[in-house]
Structure 1
């Protein structure tokens, strides 16, 4: 392929550290008139346009965006592909919601054509909303994961996904067995893990739907392949927490179930964690595990409020998750709008720079991908967004009153949505244009 070098000029903002650890001012870089240079899908330079322009060859293509902000692509650390068709389902809390809506919807993924159709819709929605990397639950059917990875590979996206492992406490039409889940996962790992920018995640749905035999084999898979991910749910709903105690009376608590089966580790991401205690947060941090904070879903299903300050106290890695279909939007901007309110209800503040961190570098750290994505540092993948200050009449009017980048960022996160994302780039390629 010919060498491709392009430059993009606009206001540019990215996180370089966690504000909880270094303070707000040291956590980001902002270039009011910035320049981003991309070579062959990677960022090669970032800085003030006035300083970088002179160093570029005369014939380089420079795209200049007015009234726009370039940020890293968003990272969604928890989302369900097969629930796309039932997003916004009325009137239930977690366990009833699974039985009433989720399981019937997921059963459709036995059909390859259906899996392919939804995978296409799902990826379009991610990119339209500025999400360039996601940690994705498939259904129990291998074809759901094959369809997703095939669609992601065509666009050279950095994506992580896995087939759900679920051998009990679910309808017969939707369960696998401990053995079949192991063999099917293994085949998917061999086919997809490390291919292009794709990674595999071992995916037991949650402790109540896996037998001890299945959880043992999930742990075995993690031991057999280096750098695999593990994703599951934890402590989302109080009824669920009690159910786990009944099913695993020999364990100290919900997290201890996963710990016992060797599912904690540097690439393990636990969704929700609304009802974790201090000791569990400490253990997650100690093992390098991460939590996906899913505010929209936690409010929609009435699950509770995630305690971000407690996670920060333990230096626990936290990413942000939309959790579609429990969450009602693919937009991480809208998810941050809800995260701010979740903190307000607990008497805590969520600064716009912490929000930016959660949606980008925090997610990358949760996934151990901060060397590749989550910032606009040179030598990282060119996954980035162009956010349009004039996306809607109200946004345009409101941002004209803004006196700082902090205010602008906060307004984008409260009034912004998919319309705000003018363009999405992945590995330097334009993969969405509004």
Structure 2
């Protein structure tokens, strides 16, 4: 018989029940905030939350309460687009996209033919994710199936909710990365072994149109048609040189997005990384099919790819999420992603509020991945995946927080000044999976 353990945590609680809107204050009913709150866990789920003074009388007299006053708890951060196999090439000298792939990415990914290397990097990547407060991500492996076996095994050991997939690529890459006729068969086997197993899900993963033949993309689309519970992740319209290449490779397609549409890859569980160089027609087609763009601000700045247009997406109703895109991204931290997103917004004249940022990093990203009934909020029955944030983790951040008079100011200071040192603890599946070393 399994005994469900109760855990009680006292702290400031912050969560978003819905989109807070574009104003300087969140829309009524969107923000859940308890300045002195109690988070009550039963096993790996949230049982209740509320004001400490109101909820604590219902606890047993001898109930042990973890006292984290002075800290704040949010839902675990979610990363919608990241390459775990590129962890070791972060901060490689910046080239534009296609040169960067050839000079750094492809040689690095060839190393994942070695299973021991894939195991080591899977665990190192998850350690860093949890250190940064990220509890769920949608992850690219390499084209080697063992890269996904290793990653999912590491996630299962830690009881994490993760999406991942083996890269499909059968042309225009080094021979050691091409999967040829075996790519779809390997994907089918991985889906059978891992999709829906505990808290894991499979994302069908053609790298991008230039590295997959039409036949391979059509076969990937068939997988999605046969199982609507699968996810799809790939890249779209990141770099102007990439657009020119796609036009040469697919002269019969009206535009880049049409290449994916013709293969049946555009749907409500489809995530297209970047989406910088889109016109409004393409945005509307994505919106109509319920697909989303993963906005990767630090990567876009690092590679000089361009500035994502949030206002155009909002006006048309195209969904987008926030992502690190490691290894071209320069920060594993959700705080760092939001800081870069704010800077991109400033360059475009599209200011990003802290309300929008932290909603996006939690509930918004969960919604983009169709996981919003499980994660992204502090709410009863949701997975107990959350971060404990120390707003006084560095002397500078502490000084700034001391001068803040509102919650919005404090959240904005965190968005701009915090890093992984501010993550005091990361909980996933009702267990503390990372605790910060003393600083």
TM-score, normalisation: structure 1: 0.98
Q: Deviations over 1:303-336 (max 9, x none)?
A: 0000111111222221111000010111010110
Structure-1 residue corresponding to 2:387: 385
Q: How does 1:47-62 map to 2 (within 5 A)?
A: 47-62=50-65
Mapped contact 2:94–2:302 kept (Cα < 8 A): no
Distance in 1 (CA, whole Å) between partners of 2:219 and 2:74 is 40
How many residue pairs get aligned? The number is 433
- Counterpart contact for 1:129–1:417, Cα < 8 Å: yes
Please give the alpha-carbon distance, in whole angstroms, between the structure 1 residues aligned to 2:409 and 2:22.
22
- Which deviations, in whole Å up to 9, do the C-alpha atoms of 1:205-231 show, x marking residues without a partner? 000100000001000111222300000
Conserved 8 A contact 2:85-2:121: yes
Distance 2:90 2:96 in 1: 14
Say yes or no: does 1:168 pair with 2:195.
no
Gaps in structure 2 of 5+ consecutive residues? none
The residue aligned with 2:198 is: 196
Kindly state the Cα deviation for residue 350 of structure 1 after the two structures are TM-superposed.
0.4
Q: Corresponding residue for 2:111?
A: 108
The 5 Å alignment of 1:33-432 reads 33-177=36-180, 179-432=181-434
Q: Distance in 2 between matches of 1:241 and 1:346?
A: 22
The CA deviation at 1:342 is: 0.3
How large is the RMSD of aligned CA atoms in angstroms?
Answer: 1.1
- Equivalents in 2 of 1:91, 1:421: separation in Å? 29
Shift of residue 133, structure 1, vs aligned partner: 0.2
SS, match of residue 21 in structure 2:
helix
2: CA distance, partners of 1:420 / 1:389: 6
Counterpart CA distance in 2 for 1:360 and 1:91 is 29
Which whole-Å CA distance do the structure 1 matches of 2:4 and 2:208 have between them? 46
| 8 Å Cα contact 1:232-1:269 kept in structure 2 | yes
* SS of residue paired to 1:279: helix
Distance 1:356 1:21 in 2: 13
Distance across 2 between alignment mates of 1:215 and 1:290? 19
Q: More deviation in 54-63 or 285-294?
A: 54-63
Q: 1:387 to 1:161 in 2, by over 3 A?
A: same
Instruction: Find the aligned partners of 2:314 and 2:51 in 1 and give their Cα distance.
Output: 32
Correspondence for 2:8: 7
Supply the distance in 2 between the matched residues of 1:320 and 1:332 (Cα, whole angstroms).
8
2-side partners of 1:2 and 1:59: how far apart?
18
Asked whether the equivalents of residues 317 and 365 of structure 1 are also in contact (C-alpha less than 8 Å), the reply is: no
SS state of the match for residue 340, structure 1?
helix
Q: Contact 2:144/2:167 (CA < 8 Å) preserved in 1?
A: yes
* Native 8 Å contact 2:4 2:43 kept in 1: yes
Q: Is the 8 A contact 2:22 2:356 kept in 1?
A: no
Contact 1:20 1:312 in 2 (8 A): no
SS across alignment from 1:20: coil
Q: Is the 8 A contact 1:68 1:389 kept in 2?
A: yes
- The 3-state SS of whatever aligns with 1:360 is helix
8 Å contact from structure 2 (residues 89, 327) kept in 1:
yes
The secondary structure found in structure 1 opposite 2:222 is helix
SS at match of 2:217: helix
Within 1, Cα distance between the matches of 2:63 and 2:160? 25
> Quick one: distance in 2 between partners of 1:86 and 1:267?
29
The unaligned stretches of length 5 or more in structure 1 are none
Partner Cα separation in structure 2 for residue 313 and residue 417 of structure 1: 32
